[in-house]
Amino acid sequence: MKKDKIVFNILRFDPDNDKKPHFQEFQIPHIRKDLTVLEGLYYIQQRLDNSLAFRSSCRAAVCGSCAMHINGKYRLACNTLVSKLESNTVTIRPLSHMTILKDLIVDVKPFWEKYEHIKPYLIPGKSLPVTGEQVQSPDERGEIDMLIDCILCACCHSSCPVTASHEKYLGPMAFLNMNRFLSDTRDNAKEERLAIVNDEYGVWRCHTIYNCQEVCPKDLNPSGSIANLKMEIVKNIV
Ligand code: FES
C-alpha cells in the first residue's frame, strides 16, 4: 500500500449477485487534509465504482442518514474526518441489527416502527387546549433542550446488544424520544406514555451498558432518559 493513498475497506453486498457480504478495498488519494469519510465514499462512487451504495443527504450532521460503522465505532460519515481515525485504512460496515439491502444501505423500517410506536407527537390531553398557542417558559423549554437534538441516525440502535437480542425491544432511540415528549410541558399523556415503555420490551430490558451514550454523534444521553423513565414508572405506576 502506498502511504500517499488512503485505503477504504468497505463491506459490499449486492443481493442480486452475492451469496454473502464481502470486503472490497479501494485506494484513494489524500485529496485534502479535512477529507471526511463521506467525501471518500463519494470519490469512490464517482471515480472508481459507481455501483457503491450508501445513504447521505445533508452532509452536515443534521439528517442522520449517513450513519455507519467506521473503524470500530458507529458514527456519521459526514462529520468523521479521515485524518482523525489514526489509521490509513478506513474500514466501513453498514449499521447493525437491520437487513442489508445493498452495500452500506440497510432496511431501516423496523427502526422507524419503534419511533412510531412511542407516539412521537404532542398529546395535549383534556387539560391543555388542542388549538392555539401553548406557551412555554424558557426554563420549561430548557427541559427538552438536549432531547430534541436526536437526529434519528440509529447509531445507538446499532450499538445496543439488547436491541440485537430481541427485535421487539424498543431500544435507546425510542426511550430518549419518549423522554423528550414526557418532559415537554405541552404534552399531557404521561400515563399512556409510561405504559408503552413499561411492558416486556420496554425500559426494564436495558442492561445499562452505555454503548448508546458512547456512540451518540450529538452527545445525547439515552441512558439518562432510560433512568428517568424507570423513575417515572416507579413514581406513577408501580
Ligand atoms: S449526511 Fe446528514 S447526517 Fe450525514
Residue 130 confidence (pLDDT)? 66
CB atoms within 10 A of CB 87: 11
Q: What atom in ligand 1 is closest to the CA of residue 64?
A: 3
- Give the pLDDT confidence score for residue 132 in this predicted structure: 75
All domains in the chain, ordered by first residue: 5-106 (3.10.20.30), 109-236 (1.10.1060.10)
Q: Percentages helix, strand, coil for the chain, rounded to the nearest 5?
A: 35, 15, 45
Q: Are 3 and 89 in contact (CB under 8 A)?
A: no
- DSSP, collapsed to helix, strand or coil, labels residue 135 as coil
Task: Report, as an integer, the average pLDDT of 125-139.
Answer: 78
**216 burial type by CB count under 10 A (0-12 exposed, 13-18 middle, 19+ buried):** buried
Distances (CA, A) of 63 to 78, 79, 154: 10, 12, 11
User: What stretches of 166-221 show up as alpha helix (H) in DSSP?
Assistant: 171-182, 190-197, 211-215
pTM of the model: 0.93
CA 235 – ligand 1 centroid, Å: 39
Span 145-164, average pLDDT: 96
pLDDT in tens, 191-217: 999 999 999 999 999 999 999 999 999
pLDDT confidence bin for 158, thresholds 50/70/90: very high
Q: Which atom of ligand 1 is nearest to the CA of 58?
A: 2
DSSP 116-127: HHT--S---TTT
**The predicted structure's pLDDT at residue 128:** 65
CB-defined site of ligand 1, < 6 Å: 56-59, 61-66, 76, 78
What distance in angstroms lies between residue 55's CA and the mean position of ligand 1's atoms? 8
Name the band, by pLDDT with cuts 50, 70 and 90, for residue 4: confident
Distance separating alpha carbons of residues 193 and 25, to the nearest angstrom: 47
- How far, in Å, is the centroid of ligand 1 from the Cα of 80? 11
pLDDT at residue 234 above 90? yes
Question: In angstroms, what is the span from residue 189 Cα to ligand 1's centroid?
Answer: 32
Residue identified by cell 450513519 is: 67
Q: Is 236 exposed, middle or buried (0-12, 13-18, 19+ CB in 10 A)?
A: exposed
Q: Cα separation of 75 and 235, whole Å? A: 36
Centre of ligand 1 to C-alpha 184, Å, is 27
Q: Across residues 142-146, what is the average pLDDT?
A: 93
CA of 214 to the centre of ligand 1 (A): 19
CA-77 nearest atom, ligand 1? 4
Mutate to test the pocket of ligand 1, among 62, 105, 150, 215 (most ligand atoms within 8 A of CB): 62
Residue 94 contacts residue 53 (beta carbons within 8 Å): no
Query: What three-state secondary structure class fits 91?
Result: strand
- The preferred substitution site among 41, 42, 55, 57 for testing ligand 1, maximizing ligand atoms within 8 Å of CB, is 57
CA distance linking residue 107 with residue 98, whole number of Å: 6
